[in-house]
Amino acid sequence: MRTVTIPAAVIAGALALGLTACGSGDSGSGSGDRSGKLVVGATPTPAGEVLAYVQQHLAKKAGLDLEIKEFTDYVLPDTALQDGALDVNLYQHKPYLDDFNKSKGTTLSAVAEVYLPPMGVYSKKVDDVTELRNGATVALPNDTTNEGRALELLASKGVIGLKKGAGANASPQDIAANPKKLVFKELEPAQLPRSLGDVDAAVINNNYALDANLSPKKDAILVESAKGNPYNNVLAVKKGNEDDPRVKKLAVLLTSPEVRKFIEDKYQGSVLPVAAG
């Protein structure tokens, strides 16, 4: 089946008009039949590409009928999952999912870790973050967990220092040391690649970097380490659907040796598989 890209405005309008008509307990296919089509939400890169590989090469043999719906932001895939327009989604890490549940009152659950999309710092002006000039402007993602993640990445290189215990939810107010007096500009994650011409550096989420033809491995001037990294992207469902046999099949396929090889070959270290079947 073909992949459908859903513009944010269209989905938002549909949700406002009553996307919940499926019923909170129904599957995204609208039937509630766990033996039918599995509707999966994803951002185009890398999640949509990984799912397309599964759809084209593995799903039929496993008896799984996949429909992939692509989203270009981080909010609507979870809203659609909660409302029943999707059965499952793949695009977010567990800290983001937990924060979304807390802030939006949703009941979403992670069922499998699939891959690590390392966050990176990019710049058109310097080749190393330590070369940033005094007073340089650095763009950050403006959602809570990814902003904290971005600040932790900068702190790992000593560019800034964070208050003790700031953790994954750190904000610029939690910066305890800023020797270069960096100025931080908070932007929607999707806008970060486009900001590179206007700022000295930007900390960009992996999927938006790849969409902009930026390679975390080749182009980032600082990239996250995979060791002990809590930001693996997860397959998520609405709570209560963890035992859906279709979801379990998809989880097995996404962590299979075939998908591991696809990720390794396609992304060449810019996306890292986290498990093998």
Provide the 10 A C-beta neighbour count for residue 56: 11
Cα of 4 vs its chain's centroid, Å = 18
Burial group, residue 30, by CB count within 10 angstroms (0-12, 13-18, 19+) = middle
- Where does the chain show beta strands of DSSP type E? 4-6, 38-42, 66-71, 88-93, 108-116, 120-122, 137-141, 161-162, 175-177, 183-187, 201-204, 222-223, 233-238, 272-273
| pLDDT tens, per residue, the chain with 277 residues | 334 444 444 344 433 333 333 333 444 554 456 779 999 999 999 999 999 999 999 999 999 999 999 999 999 999 999 999 999 999 999 999 999 999 999 999 999 999 999 999 999 999 999 999 999 999 999 999 999 999 999 999 999 999 999 988 899 999 999 999 999 999 999 999 999 999 999 999 999 999 999 999 999 999 999 989 999 999 999 999 999 999 999 999 999 999 999 999 999 999 999 854 3
Helix, coil or strand: residue 240: coil
Domains of the chain in start order, with CATH, are: 4-118+230-273 (3.40.190.10), 120-223 (3.40.190.10)
Quick one: pLDDT at residue 10?
39
Tokens in use for 249? 């099949």
Measured CA angle at 77 (ends 49, 240), to 5 deg: 105
pTM flag (> 0.75) = yes
Quick one: pLDDT at residue 266?
97
Radius of gyration of the chain (CA): 19
Quick one: pLDDT at residue 25?
40
